[in-house]
Amino acid sequence: MRTLINLILDHFLRSQNIEKIEMWRILSFVLLMAGGGSGLFFLFEALIPIMGYVESGISISVLLLLVGGLLLFLNRQKTFASSKPSLSQIQDVFKNLNLESELQNNAGKIMLLSFGIGIALSQYPRIKKFADLYKLLK
């Protein structure tokens, strides 16, 4: 089950490996969350005269925790594979980077980026305090 953030990122980044996500699906998730939030607010307001502020807040929190825990329990995946990448996988990633050719091909962009960062950092009036803090921590 994907989260809303993953759906939005997949849509805007248009990943090659992930199917195209439609804006209607994202809008439906947003509307569902807004409807659920307003429904919980009105449930809280309806419980106030019956139970009081603290008790109704506790009951809504317990309800949300139970539903969230139930959903996590039902959607759990039993995998025994390690989620940490192995050393060989990490080495393959760094071998495929070909950093020297990337630096040679994009030297102008890198110089322009560093120049822009230098100009941006010079505009901050308290940058000397950060530099002193860095020297102190070093």
The pLDDT tens digits of the residues spanning 60-103 come to: 888 888 888 887 788 776 655 556 667 787 777 777 777 778 77
What is the DSSP secondary structure assignment for residue 1, as one 8-state letter? -
CB contact burial 71-83 (16+ within 10 A = b; e otherwise): eeeeeeeeeeeee
Query: Does residue 127 carry a pLDDT above 80?
Result: no
Are the CB atoms for 61 and 44 separated by under 8 Å? no
**What pLDDT shows up at residue 20?**
52
State if pTM tops 0.75. Answer: no
**What pLDDT shows up at residue 105?**
85
Percent with pLDDT over 70 in the chain: 72
The pLDDT tens digits of the residues spanning 27-58 come to: 777 888 888 888 888 888 888 888 888 888 88
Query: Does residue 25 carry a pLDDT above 80?
Result: no
Query: Does residue 17 carry a pLDDT above 50?
Result: no
| Range with the poorest average pLDDT among 4-8, 68-72, 129-133 | 4-8
Judged on CB neighbours under 10 Å (0-12, 13-18, 19+), 67 is: exposed
**What pLDDT shows up at residue 74?**
80
**What pLDDT shows up at residue 18?**
45
Give me the half-sphere count of Cα atoms (radius 13 Å) on the Cβ side of residue 132.
4
Judged on CB neighbours under 10 Å (0-12, 13-18, 19+), 9 is: middle
Query: Does residue 13 carry a pLDDT above 70?
Result: no
Query: Does residue 22 carry a pLDDT above 70?
Result: no
